[in-house]
Structure 1
Amino acid sequence: MPHATAATRSSGHRPRWWTELPLIAVVYGLYSAGRLLVRGDVSTAVDHGLAILDLEKALHLNAEHPLNRLLTANPALGIPADFAYASLHYLVTPAVLIWMFRRRSAAYRAARTWLMTSTLLGLIGFTLMPTCPPRLLDARYGFVDTMAQYSAHGWWGAGASAPRGLSGMTNQYAAMPSLHVGWALWCGVLLWRHGRHPLIRAAGIAYPLITVLVVMGTANHYFLDAVAGAAVMAAGALLTRPVIRMADRVKSRLRAVLAPVPVPVTAKKSTIVSGGCKTSAGERIPGQRTSSADSSGAATGSAAEAASDDAPAAAR
């Protein structure tokens, strides 16, 4: 995970929830809309799915078939796996994000940027390589859609993990990369790195591993989809610092453009009561103290005036 201290220092303050919520909502909205808009040709998506399956068989990595048969034959495993696939992706990730915001604020900004950057990279993957998941391949390839098989036990329909009647609102050919695995890996790294209790750190290890088994056993992803999801998260981690630096530069430029123009400073008004005006000798402002030197000067002036008045009288 990217180092968070430098990112926090560069931000200057802890992120505020009233700015974080709209930002996360906008990014997720753009991701969801983009995921729907990049639906590729079905035949192309099927070709990509079969190519991945053939590559896995050549590399002896085809773990999807035995896991899918296990969940199909055992409802006690298949139903919880379907619930996990349909819900944990949307529950655990926000919970970890909120936990980071409240308890690990120094690392929150880097964690949030890492998640968002990786999610947008995943959208690029959906665009470049639309892929049919195993559950939508022809039945002769040996996969059973457990979401459809156990749909009576959950809120999802037979078409997808979306709620009944909303399967058309999802892009079912966005299997490569698996962001179920990618987001689970993000959660796992943060729980392991920042969790203090051993159970929290253990959950950080278990959650991504369980997610990998679930996405393959429910026939929603190939193993290589999971590998691609981990690769996308690694790329997002490497790009986190550059993205934060770029965001800081954009913010400073916007602040410079939107900053109010400073008003020229005029000459300061004098705070002296007299306003800088001089008083004549012997005249003072009421209530103003006079120094001893002023008093002696005033007395000397009065004596001189008396002498001048007496001189004409003596002459007379």
Structure 2
Amino acid sequence: MEANLTISEVPPQWNSKPMYHLPPWGEPLIVLSILSGAMFLTRRRNFQIFGMRKEGYHDSFLDSDDSTSSDDLLFHDPENDDDSQGGLSTSKHLPKRRKCCGMLVYTPNSSRFANHLHSRILQKFPFLIEMFYWVITYLFYRMTKVISARIFTSSIIDVAQAHGLAVLDFEQFSWASFLFPWTEHSVQQWFMNGHQTGLTVLNRAYALIHVPGTVGFIAWYYYIAPSNSTFATIRRTLTLTNLFAFLTFTLYPCMPPRLLPPEYGFLDSVRHDNATSIWMSGNFVNSLAAMPSMHFGYAFVIGCTMIHHAGIFRWTLEKGEMKKGLLGKIFYCLVGIGYPSMILVTIIATANHYWLDALMAIVVAWAAYLCNGIFLTLLPLEDLLLWVLRLEKPIPSTGERFRQRGGRI
């Protein structure tokens, strides 16, 4: 069956001129600017890092049952009388009560460390917690290549190539072939024959949009989400999508179309166009991680969030959420549909992923959404880590500045 997958025609010449190539520091600067801007916009203006602390910070929008404290990788237990004060109960320092695997667990209360300098810095800039979570997630991704290589040793290239060819075979010759009316090769060839400038634009989009776009979305949604509970659900979904994907990368290495032997007809257009990203290069980047596509997985979650934020499928608004006008609803729906669609065309045209990679990304993202509460079991570990670091976790400022301005977005 593999012979039917090979391409006999001579591929067209690459004639498009490369777009401007960012210097090595360009992409980190973009991401750092986004994170710094988010940290500044979500800072707590009425809180001083230095000086006497007169009283704990309080936001009336944290009174609701679904956002009773600072969140993290999640929520504190709303049944915890001490913890439910959202950082206000710093006098008694009673142990926190957590539910873990059906059991009630008591953990140390780090509120006694609220006046430590590093606690006050986090209280001033609570978005720093989000930055910490994503650094940890990125480090997990970096380890997938190392772990997978140790599992499959020297045969990993052959295994990954066999998996990639199996994906092509499934798409074209299995009972599910009707789901894939166009082959990845035909999509790339359409761009190669008369539309190479468009492919050059997609090459740059593949390199530049994924990481800055996702980081920018997290920063934006942290700022305008109606509650920290809502924001945390999306953040947990993205995080669990990552972990599910990382597990797949490790146990099922899959070679992307661009790395298949030349007889299969794919061009590694991103590298040919010198448009590689600093985040997707280096010794610890897993180039055999096609299945599922995290580019599309992230875009799918972002798109669904945008459509949800538009409010067209909901009868009621959350506490603190502003009603959107017709133009606002149209805008969010267009972004919610357009962004994932653009990413889907990009990953196929640049031969970085198969159609099945995108389909599996949707499955993984939905599974992550349905199971995102699994992170709640880690709260006792987080409490212990905070205790060891002598650190009090800040109350999130999600949506606070936006609500105070009475904005509509």
Give TM-score scaled by structure 2 length.
Answer: 0.55
Structure 2 counterpart of 1:179, which letter? M
Deviation at 1:233, TM superposition (A): 0.7
Gaps of 5+ in 2: 1-63, 69-74, 77-83, 88-122, 311-323, 391-409
Which residue is 1:48 aligned to? 163
**Residue matched to 1:243:** 375
Contact map agreement 1:36 1:170 (CA 8 A) in 2: no
Relative to structure 1, the CA distance from residue 163 to residue 23 in structure 2 (aligned partners, 3 Å threshold; closer, same or farther) is closer
Q: Provide, for residues 5-42 of structure 1, a one-character-per-residue CA deviation record: whole Å limited to 9, x for no partner.
A: 86534535499223222222122222222344424510
- 3-state SS in 1 of match to 2:189: helix
- Distance in 2 separating the partners of 1:255 and 1:167: 33
CA distance in 2 between partners of 1:256 and 1:174 (Å): 37
The Cα shift of 1:75 comes to: 1.9
As a proportion of its length, which structure holds more helix? 1
**Alpha-carbon separation, structure 2, partners of 1:97 and 1:127:** 26
Q: Does 1:179 align with 2:294?
A: yes
Aligned mate of 2:233, from 81, 90, 110 = 110
Q: Which residues of 2 match residues 212-291 of structure 1 at below 5 A?
A: 212-244=344-376, 246-251=377-382
Question: Once the 2 structures are TM-superposed, how far is the Cα of residue 99 of structure 1 from its aligned partner?
Answer: 1.1
| Structure 1 segment 1-316 matched on structure 2, within 5 A | 8-9=67-68, 10-11=75-76, 12=84, 13=86, 16-39=126-149, 40=152, 41-58=156-173, 59-60=177-178, 61=180, 62-73=182-193, 74-104=195-225, 105-106=227-228, 107-151=230-274, 154=275, 156=276, 161-162=277-278, 166-195=281-310, 196=324, 197=328, 198-244=330-376, 246-251=377-382
In structure 1, list runs of 5 or more residues that go unmatched: 260-316
Aligned equivalents of 2:162, 2:387: Cα separation in 1: 52
In the alignment, the residues of structure 2 paired with residue 110 and residue 7 of structure 1 have an alpha-carbon distance, to the nearest angstrom, of: 11
1:64–1:6: structure 2 CA closer, same or farther, 3 Å change rule?
Answer: farther
- In 1, are the aligned partners of 2:238 and 2:298 still within 8 Å (CA)? yes
Describe the superposition over 1:128-151 as per-residue Cα deviations: whole angstroms up to 9, x where unpaired: 110111111111112122113322
Identical columns (%)? 27
Q: Which position in structure 2 is the counterpart of 1:314? A: none
Decide whether aligned partners of structure 1 residues 257 and 213 sit closer, same or farther in structure 2, where only a CA change above 3 A counts. Answer: closer
Please say if residues 137 and 239 of structure 2, whose CA atoms lie closer than 8 Å, have aligned partners that are also in contact: yes
Please, what TM-score do these two structures have when normalized by structure 1? 0.70
In the comparison of the two structures, how many residue pairs are matched? 246
Q: Which amino acid aligns with 2:373?
A: R
SS at match of 1:38: helix
Deviation at 1:239, TM superposition (A): 1.1
For 1:121 and 1:187, the matched residues in 2 are separated by 17
CA contact 1:7–1:109 (8 Å) conserved in 2: no
Q: 1: distance between equivalents of 2:347 and 2:131?
A: 29
RMSD (CA atoms): 2.8
Residue equivalent to 2:42: none
Which deviations, in whole Å up to 9, do the C-alpha atoms of 1:19-66 show, x marking residues without a partner? 222222122222222344424510010000001101111114253111
Residue identity matched to 1:66 = S
Partner residue, 1:302: none
The structure with the largest alpha-carbon Rg is 1
For the 8 Å contact 1:35–1:171, the answer to whether it is kept is: yes
d(CA) in 1 for partners of 2:204, 2:254: 23
